[in-house]
A = this chain, B = another copy of it.
């Protein structure tokens, strides 16, 4: 039986759900895939826990609480020293420090699976180096959940590119949280209230400005453009913000919320203008001829984006082979269960 050894950092929403899914699937994987997933290590910001025999997933929370103090270097060196075959470092955080550790793992033949977008949307040379050492060391570096959570976006794009298709353009709605916000925003449910609700439901980044400013979508589009083959930097993705300028320079969520409330009439006007011509507001990412753009658009009834419900994402790939009609992928693009399931699928590719 094949064994995959997991070293998991980050046990918040996504990490907890991942552990839950691994526990539930244990028997299935052994029986159907002849595969044993062993969680060798867990860590959060405070604690870390190692068990070479595999951490029992009943009651991992209390065991982790009683664990050692988490010193990142110790976690890393311990993982590397163990030198287990089929080792995978799993990053469920949004941490810049953790993202900076990937290369140390890959160089030691430890695969990296992550939903953290920071490494892939960092400077091009950081992204390129990780891809290069991954191929050189025959050690997977997988990040399907960077775009569209559990939707098969990056892998589908990779398959198109590797088999020689040419991408003519990409049109997408890549923010589950913004889609939720614009779908539920009305004159009664004012914009600031819906933002607050989306934040409380865990649909936005901890700092909702990352979503509202378009930064999060720009990062995703940057990653797609790099997968297509462009050596783009974040400045190559043009963000046309729909937020009033003063909201963009706010320094805390409280300040942002108060500014959004003050701009109530402006947001209502955006909505009214769209409604007048029977259109809907959608936050759209587009990529063509090496150039990306991110902005709020009024979408016509006949467009595929019009009926995009809930927290859904949609991606249209117009390619040489999918010429007249694009290849389309659509579905929930945010939420811990679909994100964890995408991380899980990446682990199973090792």
Contacts and interface: CB of A to CB of B under 8 A. Distances in A.
Interface of A: 2, 21, 24-25, 28-29, 32-34, 135-136, 138, 150-152, 155-156, 159-160, 162-165, 309-310, 312, 321-322, 324-332, 337-338, 340-341, 344-345, 348
A195 to B, nearest CB: 21
Contacts of A341: 159-160, 163-165, 321
A112 to B, nearest CB: 18
- How often does this chain occur in the complex, in copies? 2
Given A25-B164, A152-B155, A159-B348, A322 B328 contact: no
Nearest to A18: B163
B328 A330 contact: yes
Nearest 4 CB-CB pairings of A with B: A327-B331, A163-B344, A159-B345, A328-B330
A345 B159 CA distance: 6
A55 B135 CA distance: 26
Contact of A33 (B33, B135, B326, B348): B135
Contact of A332 (B162, B312, B322): B322
A322 B313 CA distance: 12
B327 A151 contact: yes
A24 B164 contact: yes
Contacts of A160: 341
Given A152-B152, A341-B160, A345-B162, A329 B332 contact: no
A234 B272 CA distance: 54
B328 A332 contact: no
Contact of A163 (B21, B136, B328, B330): B21
B345 A163 contact: yes
A340 B312 CA distance: 30
A265 B316 CA distance: 39
Given A25-B162, A164-B341, A165-B341, 7 more contacts: A34-B136, A155-B155, A159-B341, A321-B337, A328-B329, A328-B331, A330-B330
Contact of A329 (B25, B136, B329, B337): B329
Contacts of A331: 322, 325-328
A34 B135 contact: yes
A145 to B, nearest CB: 12
Nearest to A25: B164
